[in-house]
Structure 1
Amino acid sequence: MQQFNRKPANLAELAIGNWQLAIPTFLFALSSVAATFQDDFSSDPATRGWKAFGNTNLFQWDSTNQNLRATWDSSQSNSYFYHPLPATLTTNDAFLVQFDIQLSDIQWTGVYEVSVGLLNLADATSTNFSRALGNSPDLLEFDYFPDDGAGTPNIAATLTDASNGFFFIYDNLPMNLGVTYRVQLLHYAGETNIHSNVLTNGQRYTSMPLAFANPTADFRLDTFAVSSYSAAGDTYGDSILAKGTIDNVLVTDLPVQNMSGSLSNTVWHAQFTAQTNWLYTLERTADLRSWTPILPAAPGITGSMILSDTNAPPGNALYRIRADRQ
């Protein structure tokens, strides 16, 4: 996690780069051109690239409350309300997924889930894709099981790779009806696991401290989706029928992490954790209107990276790191 002069309100604030680190005569900020997708459903999502697959009646835009009304019905075929991401995310990317979810009704038999998150659209819409049968590659999603098989509710986050290897974290807590939960799923570049926060009223409800630590490999995620999975083929009679709303969706890369800045012998140094497949540029301004690149863009590396201004001007200046996908 990044260390700053003030505590982040949430991971989304961290992701969109509005942090400033104050030191004498200099300020430091992050600006990145990332694979960011964001929607608050304030207008008809059909006009902004959202689509439905499967039973389209399971998803409806609520123009009055400006959110998405969703039904998760395992008696239906696999159905999704989805939006493509600006770029395909892999295990080499650091990224954040965030959304609000509120359930208004839920009925179930056995063990089945409410799901929202990232998927690979070609995989998820193939005829042999089945969460019930465990053939569900390329997922990173939030899941809620009202019963985990032992009579205990289960909030979880699941990662599956391209070969169906899977890892999940969880906590044995309920999602109470009528309560809005802000779900945050975080993946760090190169890691084979995921991290999560679930908030209510701005306070942490759970970080999902329990884990099933199965090794995973690479994944390819290109779509955000509200996912209603079919229970077809389930021989245990598992099923779910739930209704609720989704709002305030955010998916963004985190190309710059662990930022710090220092001034040494009139040379300004910006140090941060970088990623490959990105170009990084240190930029400077004196008026917040016109930004000047200090040096040509530098290819990212895996690990710590330093960009320096050897000709720092006297007086105050604002620095930022610009990150562009290669």
Structure 2
Amino acid sequence: MKITINLLLAIAFFGIESHVSANNWHYETFDSNPMSRGWSIHGDKSLFNWNENSKSLQVIWDSEKPNSFFYKPLGLVLTESDSFAFTFQITLDSVKAGYLEGKPYSFEVSLGLLNLASAKVKGFDRGTGLDSPNLVEWDYFPDTGFGATVSPALASDKSEFSAGFTFPAELLIGKTYSVKLSFNAEEKLLKTDMLENGKPWEKIAEVKMGSDFSGFFVDAFSISNFSAKDSESSLLAIGTVDDIAITSSGSLPSLIGMKTNDSEWQAKTFLYDSNKWKIEGSGDFRSWNQLDLDFESVNFFQYLQNPTNKGIQFYRLSH
């Protein structure tokens, strides 16, 4: 079976968006107000603000605030039987951890996938390690003496945790970090890759699901502020989040950023496995030919260019 998606009418310089996908969104740039595109806030709305000037989302992670989520439903449920990946960019502007009297321990900056029904339950408590089911997330714990730690984590529907810990791994103030998490269903393995200002950074520990791990069910991407109000941990971090993308092996990714520059066609996409996708072109929307174009990876996105655009009016990805 051949899967095809997303056409570009290059001769008229505009894209025809198919939006045909197993999940109902693929990419978020924050170029316009995200609340008009299905994003919602649960909890304290003051923690999340769209910045019209920087075209990014400003986020406050305040452990004294209640559990709060800036989220968007996927339109499907992903489980440990699905292979999938997501990416985002994060820049921290200020960080204070363990700064409150009687609360000397660090807490997490968190982004990733969760189950909305589970996360909105009153008793959901990320800090206990026992009361926060259905998570696939990237966590960062600023240093309070042990060493700044990047900790990708999986939590089952029974709050069984599998996590990796890479330290010391400090996110420097003002630097932009591109983060990609990929879950391989066959290997039951969560892999994390990170770039610092576009260059390779630390090697992040992989997370392997244990044999007794009961499985997870996630249905939304979330920038998450978890409460630690009744614990001995404290965190106040301010930063920005941008360029979020998500895909699964069973969903149809989009061609995005499509344009022509001096007759050269350009686009990008975010793929779970770029080796399984090819680009095809057509001059009449009926006869399609595979093009000899390679994907160039930049900040975990796959870029495409066709310098010989002559005679091609439409483009599509094929599987």
**2: CA distance between counterparts of 1:119 and 1:133?**
17
Q: Which residue of 1 aligns with 2:214?
A: 217
**1: CA distance between counterparts of 2:44 and 2:184?**
34
Does residue 196 of the first structure (1) align with residue 195 of the second (2)? no
Query: What is the number of equivalent residue pairs in this alignment?
Result: 244
Q: 2:137 aligns with which of 115, 127, 141?
A: 141
Q: How does 1:189-268 map to 2 (within 5 A)?
A: 189-209=185-205, 214-215=210-211, 216-234=213-231, 237-255=232-250
Q: 1:169 aligns with which of 164, 168, 187?
A: 164
**2: CA distance between counterparts of 1:78 and 1:162?**
18
Contact 1:81/1:227 (CA < 8 Å) preserved in 2? yes
Structure 1 moving runs of 4+ over 4 Å: 210-215, 282-288, 318-322
**1: CA distance between counterparts of 2:136 and 2:215?**
12
Q: CA deviation at 1:191?
A: 3.7
Structure 2 residue runs without a partner (length 5+): 7-19, 99-104, 252-275, 289-314
**1: CA distance between counterparts of 2:197 and 2:67?**
32
**2: CA distance between counterparts of 1:211 and 1:187?**
9
Identity %: 31
Contact 1:91/1:191 (CA < 8 Å) preserved in 2? no
- 2:48 partner letter: F
**1: CA distance between counterparts of 2:53 and 2:281?**
43
**1: CA distance between counterparts of 2:153 and 2:196?**
21
Q: 1:85 aligns with which of 71, 74, 80?
A: 74
Q: 2:178 aligns with which of 162, 177, 182?
A: 182
Q: Which residue of 2 aligns with 1:106?
A: 95
Q: Deviations over 1:147-200 (max 9, x none)?
A: 3x6521101211111111111123211000000000100001244330010112
- 2:159 partner letter: N
Q: Deviations over 1:256-300 (max 9, x none)?
A: 9xxxxxxxxxxxxxxxxxxxxxxx9x99987583268xxxxxxxx
**2: CA distance between counterparts of 1:220 and 1:154?**
26
Q: CA deviation at 1:123?
A: 0.5
**2: CA distance between counterparts of 1:286 and 1:41?**
32
TM-score (norm 2): 0.69
Q: Deviations over 1:1-59 (max 9, x none)?
A: xxxxxxxxxxxxxxx999xxxxxxxxxxxxx9443421000000111111111111000
Contact 1:171/1:210 (CA < 8 Å) preserved in 2? no
Q: How does 1:1-326 map to 2 (within 5 A)?
A: 33-35=21-23, 36-109=25-98, 110-134=105-129, 135-147=131-143, 150-172=145-167, 173-209=169-205, 214-215=210-211, 216-234=213-231, 237-255=232-250, 289-290=285-286, 321-322=318-319
Q: CA deviation at 1:255?
A: 3.5
Cα separation, partners in 2 of 1:142 and 1:287, compared to 1, 3 Å:
same
Q: Deviations over 1:105-139 (max 9, x none)?
A: 01111121100111001101100100112211100
SS in 1 for 2:117: helix
Contact 2:28/2:244 (CA < 8 Å) preserved in 1? yes
Q: CA deviation at 1:92?
A: 1.0
Cα separation, partners in 2 of 1:228 and 1:320, compared to 1, 3 Å:
closer
**2: CA distance between counterparts of 1:39 and 1:46?**
11
SS in 2 for 1:47: helix
SS in 2 for 1:76: coil
**2: CA distance between counterparts of 1:200 and 1:288?**
43
Cα separation, partners in 2 of 1:285 and 1:42, compared to 1, 3 Å:
closer
**2: CA distance between counterparts of 1:210 and 1:89?**
19
- 2:135 partner letter: L
Cα separation, partners in 2 of 1:213 and 1:319, compared to 1, 3 Å:
closer
